[in-house]
Amino acid sequence: MKIIKIFLIIFLTQGISQLKSDEKTNKLKSKILKNIRCLICQGQSVYDSESDFASSIKLVVDKKIDEGISEKQIYEFLRHKYGDWIIYNPKLQQKTYILWLLPLLLFSLGGAIIYKNLIIKKK
Amino acid sequence: MKKKFNLFIIITSLSFCFVIFYKGLNNSNTYAPKIIDKKNIPIFEAKDFNSNTYLNSAKIFEEDTFYIVNIWASWCVPCKKEHPLLMELNKNQSVKLIGLNYRDKLNNAKKFINEFGNPYSQILIDNNGTLGIEFGAYGIPETFLIDKNKMIIKKFVGPINEKIVEEIKLIIK
């Protein structure tokens, strides 16, 4: 009887850990697919699209995750094949300096104007 | 003075936005990946169309010659249009044509080849499109020119035409 109980506990623990690991993999897969642009669709991510291109990408991403390849390496692989455009989140590089820095500059400029108008005027 | 400065700021900002949107509107909204750098051919394993055996990329591209990889399917209408040009390219001794049969039914693909001729020295099966992804393709037909160093040097999106055939001939000469 004891042996059956131990066996049942081991079986249940393994089942739960397998479920948790599957859930983690699915979350990672969704995260990656949502960050990949479907190149033949209008404004859709691979995650949202049912096109042939998107379903092939989904299979490739699945395979890469199964092979233990990291999220970053999957993006790098796709970037190498299709260029920067395929990834929604653009990399910080010479070409994208304006894209990344302009909001910061505008935010600082706006802050400076508000500071000047509100605080300095009060004094 | 302050009013003039504010006016200047507003006009500059509006002009900036106008230029950005004007340029954006003139850009094509269809994306076509460009080949700027030469890329190595991918390492893969694929099923042969005739023998049904698996072959690896090293074996497929083993000869010291130019290769053309053409992605096609029997259901693809533009593929029929470019087929005579592939038949013409096949006559050239300095290039070997490899066909990538994309998401197709084997029987339909065989019928297509029997009806229109076989320009390919080898046909590989890409049932789920993942092989096409390895090449960086996103639709069909698509054609890749591979040089003797096994580098992809040209990529033609859509059906090839006489102009592209001439360009390929000039490179492989």
In the beta sheet, which residues pair with residue B95?
A: B66
**What are B5-46's pLDDT values in tens digits?**
888 989 999 999 899 888 888 776 555 555 556 888 999 999
In the sheet that holds B95-102, the strands lie side by side as B39-40, B151-157, B142-146, B66-72, B95-102, B122-126, B45-48, B54-56
The answer to whether residue B114 scores a pLDDT higher than 70 is yes
CA distance A69 to chain B (A): 16
What average pLDDT does the structure give for chain B? 90
Mutation pick from A46, A56, A60, A63 vs chain B, by most beta carbons of B within 10 Å, is A56
Contact (CB<8Å) A56/B134: no
Pairing between β-strand B66-72 and β-strand B95-102 as defined by DSSP bridges: parallel
Which of A61, A68, A63 is CA-nearest to residue A47?
A61
Q: What is the pLDDT of residues B67-94, one digit of tens each?
A: 999 999 999 999 999 999 999 999 999 9
- For the whole model, what pTM was predicted? 0.75
Quick: pLDDT tens for A80-119: 999 888 998 877 777 777 878 888 999 999 999 898 888 8
Please give the pLDDT value at position B37: 65
pLDDT, averaged across chain A: 86
ipTM of the complex: 0.76
